[in-house]
Structure 1
Amino acid sequence: MSEMCTSKLLGPLSFDNSPESDEINKESPCLLCEDRFNLKLGFKIFLKHCFEVHNLVIEDVQNIDNLHDYLMYWKERFVLKPFESLVPSLKMEDTDEKYYLLSTLIKEDKELRHKLRLSYVLSIQERERTDVSFKRNCMFCKLELEGLRSDYLKHLSMKHNLTLGNPQNLVFVDELLDLIEKKLNEFICIYCEGRFPDRIILKEHMRKKMHKCVNPLNKNYDKFYIVNYLEINKSKRDEKDDNYALERDENSDNEYSDWNEKDYQIFCLFCAYKNPKIDELRLHMKNDHSFDFNEITGKLDFYQKVKLVNYIRRQMVHFNCVFCNQHFNHDHENKLHMNQEEHVKIPEINVFDQPEYFFPTYENDTLLYYLEDIES
């Protein structure tokens, strides 16, 4: 058989055992003889031996989890029953020599690979669930979180409404988080894959469209959910659902064309003034309201700043003084009081640093997203 034919049968030789394995020097037996091989260091040598000595090709061998156990199983199996009776053969053109293909066309082989795959994935999941050395900055607010991965996922869900599913159903969590963060940094929606011109528009899109989750019909996310490994014959989606394809098309690069200037406006905390530029808005609040946002919030962390913004928004909507909490019947009375009494300032931190003020007073508060980007 030519080298080209061999390469085609074996596929790209990119085999790599589990990084958690501590058996790098372990030798594994050949299925059909007493020769032994270090699969870490001599994987290609092992394949060449199988092909040239035994005329054997193992389908998709580089993707078999725990290849050592796979080989041990078949070696013991061939002791009980002749190799030729279990593995199908084929004759190559211009030669009478037979070649054997050990593949998932054999039901026993398919079941064995599934069992090894499930065992491997469950071992990875268990390690991730109990590993307390995890450390990562939040992809939204950049807060550094340490401890369990489930705590990080809970933070994404509770603080940023990003839902990735039950942590008990996730595996390869670090890779999933890397993938999502990469998409967000490239201004790509993780649900519909639409690309947007900047982070602000992407966040508004994901919130308005309720796209703060991965699309269950996108097969690229299948590997991160343990449920996809449980059934041996679970079908893989070669094509995305028509509804998903349609939605992606509708939410692609052209989606933001219906956004007009008002979507970019950032509203002052104390009056109807608005401006698409955060620096100019801050200058307005400093000059017109004697409220230097940078200086006043300099000692607050990100979450306290969010709560302060929401607290002020709520106080102004209900005609309550932001400093002394005195109530008025009209907006202009409240503003007059605050100006005359010089109450355009923040109260004691315990007044607004409350869980109830973490969520926006009204849905589309663009200032909160600018705060988030500033902290990033």
Structure 2
Amino acid sequence: MAASSPQAHGTTKHDSILEVLAFPEEKANQQIPNEDSDCVGCMLCSLNLDLSQGKEEILKHIQIEHKLIIADVNLICNFREYIEYWKKRFAQEPLKEFCSTIRKEDSVTGQKRKYFLLSDALEEDKQIREYLQRKRLQVILEAQQKERIDTSFSRSCLFCSHYFEGNRAALIDHMAFDHHFSIGKPDDLVFTKEFLDIIEEVLNSLKCLFCERTFKDRPTLKEHMRKKSHKRLNPKNRLYDRFYVINYLELGRNWQVAQSEREKDSRNNSDEENDEWQDWEEDETGASAVCLFCSMSSPTVNKLKTHMTKQHNFDLDQMKEGLNFYHQVKLVNYIRRRIHQTSCISCDQQCDDIHSLLDHMTTTKHIKQLPNKTEWDQPQYFFPTYENDNLLCALDEDDDDDKIGDESSTPIIAEDAPDAKDSILLTDEAVLQDLQNT
């Protein structure tokens, strides 16, 4: 495939890319700007094409009729405005001034033909793509902020009869903690009302949210989701992507890409480790554990304990004294939940944010004052506040390590030997006689 580069255009003739656009700024209307709302004119002729069924029709038209290929179409935030922008520019100057030329095999004839390639290798194209991405992100963040401070939200729980009024966070937290169904943290979501409507519609159609199988009735569906641990969304369903802010932050990057990169970095770091014993560092949890009071994490529990002692004046080992493993789990989950709700772990003080909460608990010394056992020794705290909380695993491993070689640990005492006078062989001659005969 041969290619030639165009001359640099756009920045030399225009002080700003926005001067060429001349599009009015959209306002946040609690919905994503609809790029496929109407027909759009071809960027190179007078033909109008319908975008309501997707971009394929116009992409096919410009490739066949005008020998033009647009690179990375999936990374263009608002395709309609992108097309309208280049329609104006192509009316001013010839296509060859903006595009590279490539030779591509024709799918019908098999012969190689010359095509024009429009991509972000051209600085002007890169600018318009970035501008449309920033424009959309601004709309998303404004909509998200409105939802964060909105107190008019009202809706029933998707799984029970509880009704919530006020802020959306109350319902989201209720479903996560009481029904173990999490759609993410409230501050990570946008267009929550529509999101919940879609989830409710799926449930009402008797479909599993994860495997998307259809069941005969609601009880059967509920039992399936409970037994199979399918009370979660299908991560491969692209329908849900638009409700997560992370999907708008960077072109071509969503939560799945971020997770894949983290796993790749983890594998690379593992491959680079030296296998010699003296270079090994004990990994007590097998994965990073997170501090109870902030976002600090460490793969070594001892480092995490030191951090909590120095930074938060909280002694994890002292907290565990006199508690069995199950009580420790409940207490950790209780603290996690209270901190997540920005509520003091020892009193009913509710704070606006985590910083105010830590200031309150430090000033009052409530961070060292554990609540009454009746507050946290409840069945609901058997379930972790956060998925894969590795600090819970460390509790069990610490206890096992402490018992090794500890002479003060409780000894195992054998049962008292039975008294021979009570033996059935002496009290029942018939049994003894039968045994002798055999």
The TM-score with structure 1 as length reference comes to 0.41
Which of structures 1 and 2 has the bigger CA Rg? Answer: 2
The TM-score with structure 2 as length reference comes to 0.36
